[in-house]
Amino acid sequence: MGAAAPVPLGTVKVLVLGSGGREHALVRSLAEDPFVTALHAAPGNAGIAQEVPCHPVDAVDGDAVVALAAELGSELVVIGPEAPLVAGVGDALREAGIAVFGPSAAAARLEGSKAFAKEVMAAANVPTAMARVAATREEAAEALDAFGSPYVVKDDGLAAGKGVVVTEDRDAALAHAEDCFRAGGTVLIEEYLRGPEVSLFVLCDGRTGIPLSPAQDFKRIHDGDEGPNTGGMGAYTPLDWAPAGLVDEVMDRVATPVLAEMASRGTPFTGVLYCGLALTPRGIRVVEFNVRFGDPETQAVLARLKTPLGSLLLDAAKGRLDEDEQLHWRHESAVAVVLAAPGYPASPRTGGRVRGVRKAAAEPDVTVLHAGTGTDENGRVIATGGRVLAVVGRGDGLDAARERAYAGIERIRLDGGQYRHDIAAAAAAGRIEVPAAAARPPRTAPASNAGADPVTSTMGTTV
């Protein structure tokens, strides 16, 4: 272990690792925090590069990231994506004495292996879908028949949100399992969970967890939740329809037991535990854990967070989150709509010119956050990835926030670009139904609940 460099009181120099829309949102929020005196990103994207210096680096190469952080004098590295976390980049930085927001490789297995996540949930008595691991066609067929249709088949390893197939077609379910076997992996076959989904981010310092405002993500490529799964095509927050006790319940039944279980295994969890949940007729169930902020939920959630982000993330990294920390939120709703490249998610075609970003960003209460963007030889913005950017609209209530987000995205041009038109539409119209069993009364006064009171939330818990 190298000696930790003392962080001067009251300031911190931050390096954000990653190149997506989530990282652009993190950079935006960190840039607004007066506590953050230097801010760099690596490798970044065209939008991030307009705001802070970006450095080319292979984000999964621990030595290269440590060398860059040392050269920049970074006192906190915020690791955005899962791949460097699973690859142990956080461990390499910590060994070099640099504070990290993000878990160790051992703790990142909560996302890196769905089978491991299930094992932890079983040990911690956390409610989740029943599941079986299958390694052969026969095992897969048997598990599919045991759970019945709709079938849920998940690649056990990391798959950028695209390893999951949910289908009523048994042959398609088996074919996905066989694709995973051919690639050398195993699959998890699960019971289908019915009910609205919620993404809750919990900031963790190894012992204490503090929830952010819950959000909802839109996984499928097309309107009406049609088409294949993607990394996420849009998100909104807060969830006006969420049961009053939802955040308390997720903390009590999911986040706190998982934190305790990980600590007791000697692999305490530091960073953000993304709890992907379904509110089913039999109560809340964990759909998945991620070990990093969600994309594009972060773009919406951080648009509402008033509490300075830099000190929060440093406190998490240093094991000193205060469970009574009161987070402050803007009164508004936020809606993020993703613009994806043509051909996304199967085979995105990159290189297209992206026009109108400045016009979109000039709309009131609209922010444009880049994801898969770069610049051509003339410095013009082009698409370099499947998800190209997100337009975030803020407004008094979901209708207003949607109106802003769509006013922004309509100004942007990308040949063949795709976006959904129904982000937050059902919630704005009051059409989301929560099964009765998923709604239980709040543990404490409703004012302490991040779901019920969108403006302040306390509610940290310590294991």
- Candidates 291-299, 349-357, 377-385, 397-405; binding stretch for ligand GLY (CB under 6 A): 291-299
Letter string b/e over residues 360-377, b meaning 16 or more CB atoms within 10 A of that residue's CB: bbebebbbbbbbbbbeee
Distance CA 79, CA 86 (A): 11
- Candidates 293-301, 326-334, 393-401, 420-428; binding stretch for ligand GLY (CB under 6 A): 293-301
Q: Which does 297 bind (CB under 5 to 8 A by kind): ligand GLY, ligand AMP, none?
A: ligand GLY
Distance CA 257, CA 9 (A): 33
Q: Between 231 and 245, whose beta carbon lies closer to ligand GLY?
A: 231
Residue 157 binds to ligand GLY (criterion: CB under 6 A): no
Q: Between 297 and 363, whose beta carbon lies closer to ligand GLY?
A: 297
CB 441 to ligand AMP: min, Å? 26
Distance CA 101, CA 263 (A): 17
- Candidates 118-126, 138-146, 147-155, 288-296; binding stretch for ligand GLY (CB under 6 A): 288-296
CB 161 to ligand GLY: min, Å? 5
Q: Which does 287 bind (CB under 5 to 8 A by kind): ligand AMP, ligand GLY, none?
A: ligand AMP
CB 129 to ligand GLY: min, Å? 17
User: Which of 33, 156, 249, 297 forms a contact with ligand GLY (CB under 6 A)?
Assistant: 297
CB 300 to ligand GLY: min, Å? 11
Q: Which does 229 bind (CB under 5 to 8 A by kind): ligand AMP, ligand GLY, none?
A: ligand AMP
Neighbours of 381 (CB within 10 A): 25
CB 104 within 8 A of CB 89: no
User: Which of 29, 186, 208, 290 forms a contact with ligand GLY (CB under 6 A)?
Assistant: 290
Q: Which does 152 bind (CB under 5 to 8 A by kind): ligand AMP, ligand GLY, none?
A: ligand AMP
Q: Between 197 and 323, whose beta carbon lies closer to ligand GLY?
A: 197
DSSP 222-235: EGGGEEEE-S-SEE
Q: Which does 382 bind (CB under 5 to 8 A by kind): ligand AMP, ligand GLY, none?
A: none
Q: Given its phi and psi angles, is residue 407 left (phi above 0), alpha (psi -120 to 50 degrees) or beta?
A: alpha
Q: Which does 295 bind (CB under 5 to 8 A by kind): ligand GLY, ligand AMP, none?
A: ligand GLY
CB 400 within 8 A of CB 392: no
3-state secondary structure of 180: helix
Query: Strands, DSSP E only, in 282-406?
Result: 283-290, 327-328, 333-340, 366-370, 373-375, 381-383, 387-395
Q: Classify residue 346 by burial, with Cβ atoms within 10 Å: 0-12, 13-18, 19+.
A: exposed
Q: Between 118 and 387, whose beta carbon lies closer to ligand GLY?
A: 387
CB 175 to ligand AMP: min, Å? 17
Q: Which does 205 bind (CB under 5 to 8 A by kind): ligand AMP, ligand GLY, none?
A: none
Q: Which residue minimizes CB distance to ligand GLY?
A: 232
Residue 156 binds to ligand GLY (criterion: CB under 6 A): no
Q: Which does 423 bind (CB under 5 to 8 A by kind): ligand AMP, ligand GLY, none?
A: none
Q: Between 229 and 256, whose beta carbon lies closer to ligand GLY?
A: 229
- Candidates 101-109, 136-144, 174-182, 292-300; binding stretch for ligand GLY (CB under 6 A): 292-300
DSSP 361-381: HHSTTEEEEESSEEE-TTS-E
Q: Between 280 and 290, whose beta carbon lies closer to ligand GLY?
A: 290
Residue 294 binds to ligand GLY (criterion: CB under 6 A): yes
CB 392 within 8 A of CB 363: no
Q: Which residue has the tokens 């950079």?
A: 27
- Whole-number Cα distances in Å, 270 to 36, 161, 274, 460: 20, 22, 12, 14
Neighbours of 156 (CB within 10 A): 21
Interacting residue ranges for ligand AMP, rule: CB under 6 A: 129, 152, 154, 161, 164, 166, 190, 192-193, 197, 219, 229, 276, 287-288
CB 284 within 8 A of CB 438: yes
Q: Between 29 and 229, whose beta carbon lies closer to ligand AMP?
A: 229
Distance CA 192, CA 224 (A): 19
Q: Which of residues 206-235 bind ligand GLY (CB under 6 A)?
A: 217, 231-232
- Candidates 8-16, 244-252, 254-262, 287-295; binding stretch for ligand GLY (CB under 6 A): 287-295
Q: Classify residue 138 by burial, with Cβ atoms within 10 Å: 0-12, 13-18, 19+.
A: exposed
**Sheet of strand 12-18, all strands in order from the earlier edge strand to the far edge:** 36-43, 12-18, 76-79, 99-101
CB 420 to ligand GLY: min, Å? 13
CB 114 to ligand AMP: min, Å? 7
Distance CA 441, CA 250 (A): 13
Residues lying near ligand GLY in the complex (CB under 6 A): 161, 217, 231-232, 290, 294-295, 297
